[in-house]
Structure 1
Amino acid sequence: MAGETDPLATEQPPLSAGDLPAELPGELIAPEVAALEVPPELVAQSLGEYVRAWGARIRGGDPGVLPVILGLAIIAVLFQIVSPGNVFLSAGNLVNLFQQSAVFMVLGMAEIFVLLLGEIDLSTGYVAGLAGVIGVQLVQPVTTNFPWWVAIMAALLACAVIGAAQGTLVARLRLPSFVVTLGGNLIFNGVMLWALLFGPFSGYPTLGDQTNPHVLYQLMWGTIDPLIGWIILTALVVVVGGSFWLRDSRRRRSGLVAPPVSLTALKIVLIAVVGAAVVAICNINRAHFGTIEGVPWVILIVIGLLGLWTVLLQRTRFGRYIYAIGGNPEASRRAGINLVRVRTLAFVLCSMTAGLAGLLYVANQGGASNNFPGGQYVLYAVAAAVIGGTSLFGGRGRVLHGVLGGLVIGGINNGLYLLGLDVKVQFVVTGFVLLAAVTIDALSRRGASVGSVAHI
């Protein structure tokens, strides 16, 4: 409507003629180049063309999630063969693996917000720890006795304030994010230790059997009735698949570029098959004595967070601004994007997501303590995002990459634990996997730039 302004944009000088090349070489608009620069689903008219365009992008230096998918397959096959009793792919261990990986996955999703901007947040580990301590302390019956939902909101609000403060220092004062968040890492480690001393718990508040503490505990260990799990899966496939189908159909009717019908149908079938496999595995009784079955709450939490942040980054103006700034900050500024506001909001979302990871951690541990490995977890956060396929140089990555990278880290830790190897080996192997991921990212960018020069 007339008179409305974009709150994330400001008036900036437009690009002048001198900022653009006088003419573009004809080769740059060739279909072959377009296939490398545009997502395959936008240039393909059939499933076969999509596969060929996807192959061209891989050869052009953009492998996408293929390396991490292959890595997960290798991890699964290798540890299934060498694990005692071949239990790695058993239902009980797979559910346990996902629960162990949940904190890594959520931390990886948190870090992606700032990595897309070409920044980094080294405070996510102890921001997560502080959120967990706040949540546990506020539900203690003998002290504050807050409702569980108030405790969760208070913890996430504290993280939002932290993110806003650090984002302001980075965006407005233009301080290096590395230095700002490294300082935050030290500060919030100390604040977390102070918060642990509140109340008569000797620094070790726990989640007991009372209602509010038990709800926090159930974030990690609670399960859904098997029948309810199938109902939720059906609803999820109908809603997500229906949104895919209606969106693509609407674009086709409007004469806009849209993926082939066969590709849309394949995505919906893939979601249904993967979801059915997850529910079926989780509904197997995993207890040695008694009954433990059903989809864990934490799986729904991670999937819900993945869906929410994916929509935010892929389907909103704010998400497009993040990618634009990460790709070229100066061009984004000249296009009228408010860099300060977008960067600050990205740090807020990063800290809030890390806070949720902290709540899942204390739920997994049944309480909080000064043994929280915040320094280790911030490294896992960056590693999960980069191993999953997010670039350290900004402008390239998806929320899904944090989930896949977190699964890789969790799979390595789980498999080595089954083999009886200690944490030293886990660190070494995870470090080598991270180096491999960064190498792939650097080589793919170099290959892409060489390919572009060759076309010119």
Structure 2
Amino acid sequence: MQLYILGPSGSINLPYTSPLVRFGQLLVMPGWFSHLMALLPGLAILIFGLKKRSRRLAANLSAEGVSSLVARAIALTIIFEAAVLYLNQGRGIPWIFGLFVACVMILNYALKRTKWGRSMFAVGGNREAARRSGINVRAIYVSAFVLCTTLATFGGILAASRLASASQQAGTGDVNLNAIAAAVIGGTSLFGGRGSAWSALLGIIVIQSISNGLTLLNLPSSLRYIITGAVLAIAVIIDSLARRSRVSHGRA
């Protein structure tokens, strides 16, 4: 199907008048809207923190103080507002970036605060234990693969909107390596059962910072692959050692 759509040349160019290309390359958020969006993470931390605090107090457990929650929310809001103010001095914040952040927030909520998300972590941590506890392991596996392929398709569409073209070479090179490295560096365990959408986002920032730095140094692509692979290997080793430590202390 891909070869049929791309034709004998192996690539197609999207017109710059296409709404998809305009969304990926030209459209930016209004300034007031971007500042409003920057308030949401701090408000989310405050609201969910207060709910968690009330539940713990109702169970006669220790809980984080209100002043600490407010301080964390204010600090995060200041950081995001400063970043938005800096970015708005130029062209502005693209809508495509806002869409990406919205996807991260939705996935983080689904993984952390829904039955499906908890089942996903349970199956990843110990499939047999999850099956014995009544979780439909097969359905969780199917949903995980469906979600991955859907997000990959979504990412491919957004990449085509940014490049205004699609070709057989799209997604090749170090794309898969960077995707795996970003997840592992962010704390997602290759052994399953650990990770979050926000940690993967932090991993993306780290791996892209390394990639951009190596590009600015004008290093050959082969050396960039070696350095990125070494960073991934170190992250996997640390993850493996941490897992062994948890197993030895009975916290796996």
Q: Same fold (TM over 0.5)?
A: yes
- 1:241/1:377 CA distance change after superposition, 3 Å: same
Aligned residues: 250
The yes-or-no answer on 1:215 pairing with 2:20 is yes
CA drift of 1:394 comes to 0.8
In structure 2, the partner of 1:244 is: 48
Q: Secondary structure at the match of 1:380?
A: helix
**Aligned residues of 2:28 and 2:94 also touching (Cα < 8 A):** yes
CA drift of 1:342 comes to 1.1
CA drift of 1:345 comes to 0.6
**Aligned residues of 1:207 and 1:214 also touching (Cα < 8 A):** no
In structure 1, the partner of 2:7 is: 197
Equivalent of 1:352 in 127, 137, 150 = 150
In structure 1, the partner of 2:240 is: 442
Q: Describe how 1:231-380 pairs up with structure 2 within 5 A.
A: 231-234=36-39, 236-237=40-41, 239-252=43-56, 254-255=58-59, 257=61, 259-261=63-65, 262-285=67-90, 293-374=91-172, 376-380=174-178
Q: Distance in 2 between matches of 1:360 and 1:347?
A: 20
CA drift of 1:241 comes to 3.9
Equivalent of 1:229 in 5, 15, 34 = 34
CA drift of 1:207 comes to 2.7
The residue type equivalent to 1:363 in the other structure is: S
- 1:338/1:295 CA distance change after superposition, 3 Å: same
Q: Distance in 1 between matches of 2:195 and 2:61?
A: 22
**Aligned residues of 2:13 and 2:164 also touching (Cα < 8 A):** yes
Q: Describe how 1:108-119 pairs up with structure 2 within 5 A.
A: none
Q: Distance in 1 between matches of 2:14 and 2:75?
A: 38
- 1:330/1:241 CA distance change after superposition, 3 Å: closer
CA drift of 1:224 comes to 1.6
- The one of the two structures with greater contact order (alpha-carbon pairs below 8 A, sep at least 6) is 1
**Aligned residues of 1:245 and 1:264 also touching (Cα < 8 A):** yes
Bigger radius of gyration, 1 or 2?
1
Unaligned runs of 5+ in 1: 1-190, 286-292
- In the TM superposition, what whole-angstrom CA distance separates every residue of 1:40-91 from its partner, at most 9, and x where no partner exists? xxxxxxxxxxxxxxxxxxxxxxxxxxxxxxxxxxxxxxxxxxxxxxxxxxxx
Identity %: 33
Q: Distance in 2 between matches of 1:209 and 1:216?
A: 6
Q: Distance in 2 between matches of 1:256 and 1:193?
A: 63
Q: Distance in 1 between matches of 2:173 and 2:220?
A: 19
The residue type equivalent to 1:209 in the other structure is: Y
**Aligned residues of 1:325 and 1:395 also touching (Cα < 8 A):** yes
- 1:316/1:361 CA distance change after superposition, 3 Å: same
Tell me the TM-score normalized by structure 1: 0.51
- 1:216/1:270 CA distance change after superposition, 3 Å: farther
In structure 2, the partner of 1:394 is: 192
- In the TM superposition, what whole-angstrom CA distance separates every residue of 1:334-374 from its partner, at most 9, and x where no partner exists? 11111111111111111111122212211221211222133
The residue type equivalent to 2:200 in the other structure is: G
Unaligned runs of 5+ in 2: none
- 1:220/1:352 CA distance change after superposition, 3 Å: farther
- In the TM superposition, what whole-angstrom CA distance separates every residue of 1:315-334 from its partner, at most 9, and x where no partner exists? 00011111111111111111
The residue type equivalent to 2:217 in the other structure is: L
- In the TM superposition, what whole-angstrom CA distance separates every residue of 1:376-401 from its partner, at most 9, and x where no partner exists? 32232222111211111111111122
- 1:326/1:412 CA distance change after superposition, 3 Å: same
Q: Distance in 2 between matches of 1:239 and 1:365?
A: 35
- 1:206/1:411 CA distance change after superposition, 3 Å: same
The residue type equivalent to 2:2 in the other structure is: M
The residue type equivalent to 1:219 in the other structure is: G
Q: Distance in 1 between matches of 2:223 and 2:76?
A: 35
Q: Distance in 2 between matches of 1:326 and 1:403?
A: 20
Q: Distance in 2 between matches of 1:409 and 1:274?
A: 21
Tell me the TM-score normalized by structure 2: 0.88
The residue type equivalent to 2:55 in the other structure is: R
Q: Describe how 1:95-106 pairs up with structure 2 within 5 A.
A: none
- 1:328/1:238 CA distance change after superposition, 3 Å: closer
Q: Secondary structure at the match of 1:372?
A: coil
The residue type equivalent to 1:193 in the other structure is: L
Q: Distance in 2 between matches of 1:317 and 1:273?
A: 33
Q: Secondary structure at the match of 2:167?
A: coil
The residue type equivalent to 1:275 in the other structure is: F
- In the TM superposition, what whole-angstrom CA distance separates every residue of 1:185-210 from its partner, at most 9, and x where no partner exists? xxxxxx43332129xxx443223232
**Aligned residues of 2:46 and 2:70 also touching (Cα < 8 A):** no
Q: Distance in 2 between matches of 1:420 and 1:192?
A: 34
